[in-house]
Amino acid sequence: RHIALSDRDIIAEIFWAHWDKYDQQLGPQVWQFGGYDISEDFLALLRLKGTYTVGGLGACNLISNYAIEKGCRFDQVVNLPLDMRGEDRHFCIRAKVLGFNLWADTYFPAKHLERFDYDLREKFAKTRAKRLPGNRISLVMLVNNEEYLLENFLHRMSKLFDEIIIVITKSTDGSREIAKQYTDKIYDFKWCDNYSKVRNFAISKATSPWIFYADPDENYGVQNLHHFDKMVTTENAIGFIFMVFNYRGDRPQPSISESVRLFRNVPEIKF
């Protein structure tokens, strides 16, 4: 809404990311000139809140109908240097030729989850490798026709867990094929309208000392999940309560509930 009110025909909401796994510093998705050339002074400017003209922009773009009607589009422009490849650069070149300025807004930086999560997932893998046997964690999930949600969840979080248990109830989509990419512990359970029964079946398959129960449609702040290793080393702890924010399209505010999601794998704990 903020950039929509800026009255600019082409404007990007800035975000910062590691564009290559070897990058040591975060870089913006906008640039100053060329294919992706940025001066130190320009980088310093982009770290200040404001709206600035840029030479190119790569994502999170708001484009007016007027700019589109005038011919701004992502079609290929031939005979460009190799460092000018890509539809984003072709769009920016065409826009400038047509007389449009390109803008970047830095008041409310977006967060590129895929780029942001890459390093975190690698850290999870290293942390998991050092985890003591008594602190290992099994992820347990029930799946019912949620292939897109399952793929997103496992891609972001799978490396945190020592074991992944997937129980498929009524799925007819590609959930099973997606699960196979992350685990070989996939079980079928004929649905019986008894959530407790199917959940108890699922946790019975876990072999780690700790269980984390989650649904595919849940989104956990990946940057905060390193706290798991602090939790499972807490002396005398049996389980941990998570605050759950339930968002629905017909409600402006989420409903909030509490749920035990991380708990010890002991026979006394059941649904």
Which backbone phi and psi does 255 adopt, to 5 degrees? -90, 150
| Whole-Å CA distances, 121 to 127, 149, 234 | 10, 18, 23
Q: Which two tokens stand for residue 154?
A: 């496992």
* Euclidean distance between CA atoms 271 and 196, whole angstroms: 5
Q: Return the pLDDT at 17.
A: 79
Nearest to 106 by CA among 156, 154, 160, 48: 48
| Whole-Å CA distances, 14 to 85, 101, 140, 193, 221 | 21, 16, 37, 47, 21
pTM comes to 0.59
Domains and CATH numbers, the chain: 4-111 (no CATH), 114-264 (3.90.550.10)
- For β-strands 51-54 and 102-111, DSSP reports them as antiparallel
* Euclidean distance between CA atoms 202 and 171, whole angstroms: 16
Nearest to 57 by CA among 71, 46, 70: 46
Per-residue pLDDT of the chain (271 residues; tens, 9 = 90+): 888 888 899 999 999 877 765 455 778 999 998 888 889 999 999 999 999 999 999 889 999 999 999 999 999 888 877 778 888 899 999 999 999 999 999 999 887 765 556 566 666 667 677 778 888 999 999 998 888 889 888 887 888 899 999 999 888 888 899 999 999 999 999 888 888 999 999 999 999 999 999 998 887 765 566 688 889 989 889 999 988 888 776 777 778 889 999 999 999 999 9
- Evaluate whether 15 touches 110 at the Cβ level (below 8 Å): yes
Task: Output b/e per residue, 37-53; b: 16+ Cβ within 10 A.
Answer: ebeeebeeebeeeeebe
